[in-house]
Structure formats: C-alpha cells, structure tokens
Amino acid sequence: MDRETTFRTLAAVGLSIAVMIAWAYFFGPKPGAVPPPAEAQESAAPAPMEPPTAPPTTSAAVAQRPAAEAAPTPDASGDQWEKIEGTSGQANVEVFTDGQQIVFSARGGRLLSWRLLDYEQLPGADDGRPVDLVSPQARALDHDPLYIELADEQLEARINQAWYQVSEAAADGDEISSLGLPEGTRRVRFRWADGAGLEVEKTIFLPGDGAFLAWIEWDVRWQGRSLDDAAICWGPGISRSNPGDAKNRYAYRGRAIAALSSGIERYNPSKVDGDISWPAALAPRWMALDAQHFAVAMIPRQPGVGMVRRFDLASLGDSAEEQNLAIATTAREVVIFGGPKENHLLKALDQRLGVDLTSLVNWGFFGFLARPLYFALAWLERGVGNWGLAIIVITVVIKLIFFPLTQKSMVNMRRTQQRMAKLQPKVRKIKEKYRDKKDMEARRKMNEEMMALYSREGVNPMASLTGCMPMLLQLPVLYAMYTVLSVATELRGAPFFGWIHDLSAPDPYLV
C-alpha cells in the first residue's frame, strides 16, 4: 500500500470517528434523561403514613419534578392537633417600608407584589407606576412568591390554597438580636393547621433599612416532624425592567443565576430543558432571577436542597417563555433580596451577608475592562454631577489614549498609499505584459515580477492594512464600554439634557 492510499485510509477512519462523535453529541440520549410519565409513576412506590421524602437531586443533571408520594393521612392514634385557619376572603396585608410596598395574601401566605416605589417601571412615564418584582407569569399560574412546593401535588394544593391566620407587628427584641436586624423591623406571620397534624408557618421580617431584604423563616410539619421535601419558591420570572422589552429583540433576557462552588452559572430560559437541583452539600450559596437592572436573590442561611425550576408557559404567549424559570430551596431560613443591581448596594450586602451578590451584574466577556470603566465612570459622575457628562468625558479620554497609535498608523498607511500610487505605471505595464496569458504559469510569473518590483522600491503592499490595527485594538474597549452602559443600573432614569430623560434607553429620535 503506497503512502497516498495509507493517508486516505487514515483520513477516512478519522472522519468516520468524528461523525460518530458529533452524532452522539447532537442526537444521542442526553445524560440524566427522564423516563416517560408512565414509567415514572410505576417507579414511585407510595409510603403510607410517612411524609414525602426529599426530592432526588443532581449536581449538574437536568431532571423533572419528583413523582408524587402518598399524602399524610389523619393521625389514628387519637392525639389532638390544634386547627388554625384564617377567614376566607380576608383582606391582604400591606407593608410600607423604606421605599417599598409589599403586599401579602392570607390565601396561601404568599407575596402578591413587591413594589419599589423609588423606581418607575418606565422612567419618565406619566403614570409613574413603580417597578413590581412579581412577574405577570407567576400571577397567571397562581404561583406567587413564597409558594410552597411538595412532591405530593394534592397536599401542595391544600397548603397553598388555604386561608392562613395572619398577624403583623413589630419584631420583638429577641428576634431582632438573634437575626441581627435593626430596630423598627416589621414582622408578618402566617399560620395554618388542619387539625389532623399538618401545620404550616411562615414568618417574614422586613427590616426597612434600605437594603431591600426580607428574612424568611418557614416550616411545613406533619405531626411535629418537618417535611424535608418542602421547598419555598420564587417565580417563574420577575417583572421586566421595561415592559416594552418583550417586543425588543435586542433587549436583555433575564436569567436564573446560581452561585456554585465552581463559579457563577447563568441559565438561559430557552436552553433549560427541565428542573435542575443540587443536594444540600452542593447547593448554591445563593440563587437569583434577574432582569436588566433588577434581581431577586434567595440566600439560604442553613443547608437545603437548591433548585432551578422550569415551567411550561407556552399557553401564555411566546414572550412569556423568556420568564419560565423559578428558584426554590428547602432551607428553612432564607434571606431574600429584591431590588436594583446597583454596585454600591450589592457591595454593602456582600459585606453584611458574607456573599457575593455583586456577581449579579454580568460584565460580559470583557469584564476585566468593563469593571474599571464602570468605576472610572462613577468617579467622573461624582466629579461632574451628571452621568451624561461623565460618559462624554470618558469617551474623550479613551480617544486620547489611543490617539498616538491611531496617528502613527494613519501616517504609515498614507505614506504606503503614496508610494503605491507612484508605482502604478510600472504595475500597469507588468499587467499589460501578461494580459493575454491566462495560464497559471503566466499568472505566477506576473506575481513574481510585481513582488520583485515592490521589493526593489522598498514598498510593502500589506502595510496599508495596518491602519485597521488601532480599530481592532479599540474594539474590546468599545464593547466593554457598551456593556457598562447596558448594565449600569445607575443610568436608568438618569437625565442628560433636552429630550434625553433616560440614559439607559434608546434615543427616541435616533439623533
């Protein structure tokens, strides 16, 4: 077998292996595949008189929601259990605290709205409607924040549809000292029990100190024993920073974010096929749902299973699918942050809670450039007093930094063009010589003569292309600057002059 045949054989074998690998990657079975519903039901054996067990978890695999197990049955031992319930149709609980209006419902002990009164949904709009972090999708599914999820769907429905007994008051001294909360913290407590041993309690502490935090203590108990599989949930989605983003193909699409030991993971709603869960030992430090300028983060204060849940929202319209992810945890103590992604605020929370919420801001691929640009922009704004002026100043500074390189390249490019212009008569003469010769050998000789001409005259025909280098070097900086202008929440609603009332919004007149 000659060398050429051997080469072709090896190439054919290599190509076949590459095709097999590509086929397995794109069309083969996915890891952690979920069995059909019928198989899942067969594999879930009910356990009478036992509370549901913790849902199966995986650190990286995508999985469906655990199959339902048998619901707890009334106690047959004769023990008496207190029955606690609220009045059907009772009024919502409204708490105003430091620029926030938080509304709770006694039905299910859930959160109906979390309005940020100092942030308009559409800056400059006549209605002045504030941002509400609760998404329309969650309302449409009757899956409002603080919804409790269980493996048993019937038990889950009972817990979330029941009317709870509600109390709202100032937190007492012991609660304030144990949680490290400021004086004046408000406490909202929901309690419900069916009288047969099933009890639910949720206690929400609202500090009102401008940090946009809520401390949640909750539990679901069956005859005094916590149901380990119970999880408290936020989502699907949070409200968009701008309602018009649903029709804007270039607008930021929210993500689910998990702070894992391996780093920050961001989950695109369109690329998540099912639920994702982590066991308590590998659970994220925090999980979040974000919009362009706002976020809701769950920060467990004790071990618990962490989950990113996917909902099917096709019935709510195409744009709703971009809000199809929710976050949940089985941890019984959770701190919830719901507010703007402002750097100074997130940095203060990092120090207070011992987390890294500053990672909520996605600085992109050129983050190593975007962060310094943001801090420089913020420093300039403090000096000039206006974000628009700060943007102009930093743009001029960037231009000045690159000016020497740009100037040198332009001079070299112009000099090369002048030399090339002087050589054009000789170049045309060479081309005329070979005009009627179309064979490859003649073309090769023509190119050799032209290169010899350039060499004798000391001209590099490729030198003119070096004029593009300054632009190429500036591209990462320009892209990083674009990222800063896109993600800096401080620019939202910041005016400049004239018709420019919001530096984070596109120019309505395309000036």
CB 217 within 8 A of CB 333: yes
CB 114 within 8 A of CB 226: no
Task: Give the pLDDT score at 420.
Answer: 81
Does residue 370 lie within any of the structural domains?
no
CB 286 within 8 A of CB 298: yes
Does residue 170 lie within any of the structural domains?
yes
Co-location of 352 and 396 in the same domain: no
Q: Whole-angstrom distance between the N-terminal and C-terminal Cα of the chain?
A: 71
Task: Give the pLDDT score at 422.
Answer: 84
> Buried b / exposed e across 362-383, counting CB within 10 Å, b at 16+?
bbeebeebbbebbebbbebbee
Closest CA to 93 of 112, 74, 80: 112
CB 258 within 8 A of CB 176: no
Co-location of 444 and 317 in the same domain: no
Task: Give the pLDDT score at 46.
Answer: 36
CB 306 within 8 A of CB 283: yes
The residues, ordered by sequence, that sit 6+ positions from 430 with a Cβ below 8 Å of its Cβ are 446, 449, 450, 453
Low pLDDT (below 50) residues in the chain: 1-7, 9, 13, 27-70, 74, 76-78
Closest CA to 238 of 359, 88, 340, 150: 340
Task: Give the pLDDT score at 155.
Answer: 92
Task: Give the pLDDT score at 1.
Answer: 45
Co-location of 254 and 357 in the same domain: yes
Task: Give the pLDDT score at 308.
Answer: 95
Q: Where in the sequence is the domain holding 456, given as residue range(s)?
A: 387-491
Helix (H, G, I), strand (E, B) or coil at 86: coil
Co-location of 180 and 300 in the same domain: yes
Q: What is the pTM for the complete model shown?
A: 0.77
Distances (CA, A) of 150 to 70, 136, 273, 326: 11, 23, 21, 15
User: Number of structural domains, the chain?
Assistant: 2
Does residue 257 lie within any of the structural domains?
yes
Q: Which of 325, 346, 362 represents a domain boundary (last residue)?
A: 362
Co-location of 314 and 401 in the same domain: no
Task: Give the pLDDT score at 329.
Answer: 96
Co-location of 283 and 431 in the same domain: no
Q: Which of 362, 397, 416 represents a domain boundary (last residue)?
A: 362
- CATH number, domain at 338? 2.70.98
Cα distance between residue 400 and residue 380, in whole Å: 16
Cα distance between residue 413 and residue 69, in whole Å: 75
Cα distance between residue 143 and residue 233, in whole Å: 9
Does residue 11 lie within any of the structural domains?
no
Co-location of 306 and 455 in the same domain: no
**271-295 tens-digit pLDDT:** 888 899 999 999 999 999 999 899 9
> What rounded mean pLDDT belongs to the chain?
81
Give the burial class of 279: count Cβ atoms within 10 A of its Cβ; 0-12 exposed, 13-18 middle, 19 or more buried: middle
Co-location of 327 and 448 in the same domain: no
SS (HEC) of 284-328:
CCCEEEECCCEEEEEEECCCCCEEEEECCCHHHCCHHHHHCEEEE
Two structure tokens written together for 399 = 């231009």
Task: Give the pLDDT score at 247.
Answer: 59
Task: Give the pLDDT score at 61.
Answer: 36
Co-location of 358 and 406 in the same domain: no
Does residue 373 lie within any of the structural domains?
no
Q: Which of 328, 362, 396 represents a domain boundary (last residue)?
A: 362
Does residue 29 lie within any of the structural domains?
no
Query: Alpha helix locations (H) across 315-439?
Result: 343-353, 367-384, 387-433
Co-location of 351 and 479 in the same domain: no
Cα distance between residue 481 and residue 370, in whole Å: 6
The residues, ordered by sequence, that sit 6+ positions from 243 with a Cβ below 8 Å of its Cβ are 121, 122
Co-location of 302 and 232 in the same domain: yes
Does residue 73 lie within any of the structural domains?
no
Co-location of 95 and 237 in the same domain: yes
